[in-house]
Amino acid sequence: MAQKMILDLDTGIDDALAIAYALGSSEVDLIGITSEYGNVLTERSVVNSQQILHLLGHPDIPVYLGAGHSTTTNDFSVLPISAEIHGQDGVGELHLTEPHPEMVTESAVDFILRACQEYGADLSIVATGPMTNLALAIQKDLPTLKKVGQIVIMGGALTVGGNVSPFAEANISQDPEAADLLFKSGLPVTMVGLDVTLRTLFTRTDTAEWRALGTPAATAYADMVDYYIKAYEVTSPHLHGCALHDPLAVAVAIDPSLVTTFPLNLKTEIEGPSRGRTIGNNARLDDPTTRTAVCVQVDTPRFLTEFKARIGHLLAP
Ligand code: BDR
Ligand code: CA
């Protein structure tokens, strides 16, 4: 039976790749997408997810409005670096014009809790934006959230530096308090951080293969990822490609054997220059009830093969 999956996204370009990876995987039944602020405003994240779902032939999957700002602020503005990497619209200035459906009225947090109640251990939540919706769900009803099978997050950096500060990765830095609450909640969390995502790179040679497929979805994905690669050529020229952050988290939720994990009780530093750093929690280093694990190595060739096969199949005529 396919695993039920919720994607919690701040829908930028690699989040759109996470959607495609999930839809291209027969092991997954994508039951809904919940929206976060981050690469874009939350309302824009909803529209982007709806338009991507439409483009990929799944317009009926519901998209839920989530948090518009962090748990410690009252509003949110998109950072210039996010707009540079993902475009003003979050999806590489694609200007998707398909009509999008009416917004569902149930909140992201209520949907997450309802799904945990209904599917329990069969449910995976993959979060690839700030951890705010999960923190709000923890605050509202942790016992129900604890019925979930697994939570896989794209966020953090344990063995490498950050990408928005020397210490902090972007998703964690948006709401360090939320990430800290998640790590200390007792929920089963696998952290797919920069330690592994910066080892999974996609190039213009790869997007040319998509473009050659000739479908509207393949062309849109090739355009979108070329935009993302162009931004990486400016911000991280040494990588010679773009990092497949968010789809790797989906892949790990489906097949944990793609990575090597290190069990570690985590915390997020919330004070001073290291605010947003994900690191071992000294107070619980010997606590045997470790529920958090950090991915420290990835089988890059196997992941890239899976990525190309699954998304290529989805984008093909
Ligand atoms: C993460 O930050 C966001 O910009 C990306 O979509 C990804 O989830 C990478 O640090
Ligand atoms: Ca993201």
Dump pLDDT digits (tens) for 169-179: 999 999 999 99
The first and second tokens of residue 212, run together, are 């050659």
- Distance, CA of 182 to CA of 281 (rounded, Å): 13
The first and second tokens of residue 32, run together, are 């809904």
Give 288's pLDDT tier (boundaries 50, 70, 90).
confident
The CA 271 to ligand 2 mean position distance, Å, reads: 24
pLDDT at 197 over 90: yes
pLDDT at 63 over 80: yes
Across the range 56-66, mean pLDDT stands at 96
The CA 281 to ligand 2 mean position distance, Å, reads: 25
pLDDT at 146 over 80: yes
Instruction: Sketch the domain layout of the chain as residue ranges.
Output: 3-315
Q: What is the DSSP string of 7-65?
A: EEE--SHHHHHHHHHHHT-TTEEEEEEEE-SSSS-HHHHHHHHHHHHHHTT-TTS-EE-
pLDDT at 191 over 80: yes
Write the residue with the smallest CA distance to atom 10 of ligand 1: 170
- Establish whether residue 15 lines the binding site of ligand 1, counting it when its CB lies within 6 angstroms of any ligand atom: yes
Q: Who surrounds ion ligand 2 at CB < 5 A?
A: 10, 15, 128-129, 246
Write the residue with the smallest CA distance to atom 8 of ligand 1: 128
Q: What percent of the chain has pLDDT over 90?
A: 94
- Establish whether residue 207 lines the binding site of ligand 1, counting it when its CB lies within 6 angstroms of any ligand atom: no
pLDDT at 302 over 80: yes
Residues 6+ apart with CB under 8 A from 207: 221, 222, 225, 226, 229
CA-nearest of 76, 140, 316 to 216 is 316
Q: What is the mean pLDDT of the chain?
A: 96
pLDDT at 28: 98
| Widest pairwise Cα distance in the chain | 55
Which of 6-20, 99-113, 302-316 has the lowest average pLDDT?
A: 99-113
pLDDT at 96: 83
Buried b or exposed e, range 168-180, using 16+ CB within 10 angstroms = bbbbbbbbbbbbb
- Establish whether residue 200 lines the binding site of ligand 1, counting it when its CB lies within 6 angstroms of any ligand atom: no
Active site residues: 10, 245
- Establish whether residue 11 lines the binding site of ligand 1, counting it when its CB lies within 6 angstroms of any ligand atom: no
pLDDT: which is higher, 284 or 99: 284
Across the range 191-211, mean pLDDT stands at 98
Task: Look up the CATH architecture of domain 3-315.
Answer: Alpha-Beta Complex (3.90)
- Establish whether residue 128 lines the binding site of ligand 1, counting it when its CB lies within 6 angstroms of any ligand atom: yes
Give 97's pLDDT tier (boundaries 50, 70, 90).
confident
Ligand lying nearest the CA atom of residue 170: 1
Q: State which ligand 1 atom lies nearest to the alpha carbon of 13.
A: 6
The CA 215 to ligand 1 mean position distance, Å, reads: 27
The CA 87 to ligand 2 mean position distance, Å, reads: 13
Give 95's pLDDT tier (boundaries 50, 70, 90).
confident
- Distance, CA of 83 to CA of 251 (rounded, Å): 26
pLDDT at 121: 98
- Establish whether residue 69 lines the binding site of ligand 1, counting it when its CB lies within 6 angstroms of any ligand atom: no
- Establish whether residue 8 lines the binding site of ligand 1, counting it when its CB lies within 6 angstroms of any ligand atom: no
Which of 89-103, 166-180, 228-242, 284-298 has the lowest average pLDDT?
A: 89-103
Q: State which ligand 1 atom lies nearest to the alpha carbon of 82.
A: 4
The CA 250 to ligand 1 mean position distance, Å, reads: 14
Q: What percent of the chain has pLDDT over 70?
A: 99
Query: Strand 201-202 to strand 292-298: parallel, antiparallel, or no bridges (unpaired)?
Result: unpaired
The CA 191 to ligand 1 mean position distance, Å, reads: 13
Q: State which ligand 1 atom lies nearest to the alpha carbon of 164.
A: 10
Residues 6+ apart with CB under 8 A from 115: 4, 6, 31, 32, 123
Tokens 């991915």 -> residue: 295
130 touches 175 (CB < 8 A): yes
The predicted-structure confidence for 252-275, as pLDDT tens digits, reads as follows 999 999 999 999 999 999 999 999
Give 1's pLDDT tier (boundaries 50, 70, 90).
confident
Q: State which ligand 1 atom lies nearest to the alpha carbon of 12.
A: 6
Residues 6+ apart with CB under 8 A from 205: none
- Distance, CA of 158 to CA of 280 (rounded, Å): 8
- Distance, CA of 207 to CA of 210 (rounded, Å): 5
The predicted-structure confidence for 227-243, as pLDDT tens digits, reads as follows 999 999 999 999 999 99
* Residues pairing with 132 in the sheet: none
167 touches 234 (CB < 8 A): no
pLDDT at 101 over 80: no
Give 317's pLDDT tier (boundaries 50, 70, 90).
very high
Give 190's pLDDT tier (boundaries 50, 70, 90).
very high
Q: State which ligand 1 atom lies nearest to the alpha carbon of 85.
A: 4
